[in-house]
Amino acid sequence: MADKDGLKVAKDYQTGVEFSRQGGFYVKGAQDLDWGMKKHLSNIFDPKSGNTVMFAFDHGYFMGSTAGLERLDLIIPPLLEHVDVLMGTRGALRTCVTPDCQKGIALRCSAGSSMIDDDLSHEVIAVNVEDAIRMNADCMAIQTFVGADGQKSSLDNLCKTVDMGMRYSIPTMGVVAVGKDMERTPRFFKLATRILAELGANIIKTYYCDDFEEIVAACPVPIVVAGGKKLPENEALTMAYRSMQGGARGLDMGRNIFQSEYPVEMAKAIRMIVHEKATDKEAFEFYTNEIHK
């Protein structure tokens, strides 16, 4: 049994060396998955750039009517053209997104807490795999709470979802939660992202931080960076650019799109960084020009 006192701090991440097992498929770590899994992943990650722009609007599952998401039926349609994947709950998708939508679906499948709770780390699997199939989900998103009181149960939720996903060829996205009392350090994110990948998650959603290149190098599946709290547009675009430069395979933006005064223009600017290799300065210049037309 490993013991903490005997562990060495790993330092040689070889960040300049590409992941060695790409095989014949372009999504990191997916070379040995079956056809159905790869099909779902290709609905998430663009075959040309290998990257993805996700639009997260699942905040209501624990926050209620979040500012900017008061009317899902109004905010989502104008953004559809400019994102690759919709990350939402089954209730929001069924009521506010038309079924002829051709976008990838990241289905929020964990729940059980609300902003009324002091501790948000106690969740359950809230969507069974049969309904994920009915929703034509391209991945099932499970929130995990490494280092929190609910760590064990949330990792159990992840493992059970991975098992269900493998049975029916639906990828699992492990989401790294950061609570008010949890670390937000490179050491924490290295730990959390690696644990989720080792437990079988096919995609990891986490936050950008210092030494991000090392976090990406140590994780054998694609990392998608969460937008987090609302930032000024230029700062959000800089974070997006640094994330992609650091090896992220996409961004899952929520508040930095739907709480922007110009959400469509912001989504377009994010897309430039993710798919067209634009710099943050180029993307912000585009955004500024768009809003002043």
Supply the pLDDT for residue 221. Answer: 98
Q: Catalytic residue at 103?
A: no
Instruction: Tokens for 130, please give them.
Output: 């049969």
| Catalytic annotation, pick one of 28, 190, 205, 268 | 205
Q: Are 178 and 151 in contact (CB under 8 A)?
A: no
- Expressed in angstroms, the distance from the first to the final Cα of the chain is 63
Amino acid residing at 92: A
Alpha-carbon dihedral 288, 289, 292, 293, rounded to 10 degrees: -150
How far from the centroid of its chain's Cα atoms is residue 29's Cα?
16
Supply the pLDDT for residue 24. Answer: 83
Supply the pLDDT for residue 75. Answer: 96
Supply the pLDDT for residue 18. Answer: 85
Supply the pLDDT for residue 109. Answer: 98
Supply the pLDDT for residue 180. Answer: 56
For 183-223, give the DSSP string: --SHHHHHHHHHHHHHTT-SEEEE---TTHHHHHHH-SS-E
Place of tokens 């992943």: 41
Nearest CA to 232 out of 269, 260, 265, 254 is that of 260
Per-residue pLDDT in tens (0 to 9) along the chain, 293 residues: 555 555 565 578 988 888 877 678 999 999 999 999 999 999 999 999 999 999 999 998 888 999 999 999 999 999 999 999 999 999 999 999 999 999 999 999 999 888 888 888 899 999 999 999 999 999 999 999 999 999 999 999 999 999 999 999 999 999 999 865 556 799 999 999 999 999 999 999 999 999 999 999 999 999 999 999 999 999 999 999 999 999 999 999 999 999 999 999 999 999 999 999 999 999 999 999 999 98
Q: Are 79 and 55 in contact (CB under 8 A)?
A: yes
Give the whole-angstrom CA distance, residue 201 versus residue 196.
6
Q: What is the pTM of this model?
A: 0.93
Amino acid residing at 156: D
